[in-house]
Amino acid sequence: MKPINEMEVSFLSRSSNEAFGRAAVAAFAAQLDPTLDELCDIKTAVSEAVTNCIVHAYKNTIGKIYISCKIYSGGRISVKIRDRGCGIEDIGQAMQPLFTTSGDERAGLGFAVMENFMDSLRVASKPGRGTSVTMQKIIKRRENENG
């Protein structure tokens, strides 16, 4: 299915850019007229994915984070966040709640949060080559409140 609109953005994996990534996706998603809850869900999931790139993919270094968004008919938005970092050795293990490679300061809930706030989540990774996280959400069409 061909998207009806799309956008791409990239930025360095600095923690100060996490808010930018979240805001860029939220601004793009706004054209679907989401509820505040739907928009917060998308922003939270994007924050988790971008933070994973910063903390895990490019640990102790700076690399690029790439975000692409596509909107399809029926109110479906697809958000893909990818990096060219260290990759994930065992995706199944990494997606388990409470699993983390960053020691005690991280909760290890990033993928669980993404799964909970979005309608679908797909993770692909190659050690040494990077990781790609694709999330989708259906924005439900609201009835006109004036009639």
- The catalytic residues are 48, 52, 106
* Token pair listed for 4: 């009806």
What does the buried/exposed string (b/e) look like for 86-117 if buried means 16 or more CB atoms within 10 Å of the residue's CB? Answer: bbbeeeeebbeeebbeeeeebeeebbbbbbeb
Strands of the sheet with 130-138, listed across from one edge: 5-12, 64-72, 76-83, 130-138, 120-126
CA–centroid distance for 41 within its chain:
10
